[in-house]
Structure formats: C-alpha cells, structure tokens
Amino acid sequence: MAAAAVPTTNNNTAPHHVGSSSITSFYTDNDKKEPMKIPPKHLNIVWGGDSRYWKVPDDEGSSAKLKQVCWLEVTGSVKDTHADRQYEVGFHVSFTPDAFGWGGSPLYIMVKRGKDGKSVWKRNC
C-alpha cells in the first residue's frame, strides 16, 4: 500500500482519519491464501475525520462513505509482507444513485514495498 502518512491524530477536531500505524494481518483464512481485506478504519483517510465529507465506521465489516469532497487520498502500511510474493492492491468503489463528478475521473493507485522501495503508480479507469 502507499506509505505516505497523514500527519494528525484521531479526535473530534482532527480533519483527517488516522488508521493503524502498521497493519499486521487481515486475512480471511488461516492459510493466507484468500485476499487480505483491510477495513477502512485501519487506513489513513484525508478529510476522513470531518463528518461533512466522510463517515468512517468503527466496525470491521462496514465500508467508509465519502459524502462530498474534491480530493480522495487513502494510505496505509502493511507489515510482514514477503519479497518473494506478489501482491495486488485495489479498492471497491460503489456509488449511490445520485452520485456525480466521477464520470471520467481516473483513479491512481501507488504501491511501495518497504521504506526504501520504489513507488509504482498505476492508473485505473
């Protein structure tokens, strides 16, 4: 996942939601063969602490809801990845019937392995 950190803390006055400093494991099975799913509350979400723009759930199984914003930035860091294993990063995005503004907007995802790793950007449309 992207390694950039959002510099703030979670409280009622902070504009940004700060997730876990490092995510250890969110596999759905013990063999670690199924995809790892990271709940939104464990990710850093720019403007995620501002209820005008986001609703970030406390429970593990719920999705974060973007209400209104012109900038979307979500970051996180996963511990204990292995150099000999390939990983895939993605987001599930769904829209309400009255959603607007995403028509032709590209989505960029950046992945970096370790502190000294090279950042790799991919455009998804």
Query: How distant, in Å, are the alpha carbons of 1, 13, 81, 87, 92 from that of 28?
Result: 18, 34, 16, 15, 17
At 40, is the secondary structure helix, strand, or coil?
A: helix
Confidence category of residue 15, pLDDT binned at 50, 70, 90: confident
CA 8 to the chain's CA centroid = 16
What is the reported pLDDT for 32? 65
The span from the CA of 79 to the CA of 24, in Å, is 5
Domain ranges of the chain: 1-125
Query: How distant, in Å, are the alpha carbons of 8, 30, 59, 65, 92 from that of 49?
Result: 10, 33, 16, 12, 21
Predicted confidence (pLDDT) per residue in 70-104, tens digit: 677 888 777 777 777 777 777 777 888 888 877 77
Predicted confidence (pLDDT) per residue in 111-123, tens digit: 777 777 777 877 7
Two tokens, residue 86: 């390939």
What is the reported pLDDT for 31? 67
Phi, psi of 72 (to 5 degrees): -120, 115
The amino acid present at 39, given as its one-letter code, is P
pLDDT at 10 over 60: no
Overall pTM > 0.75? no
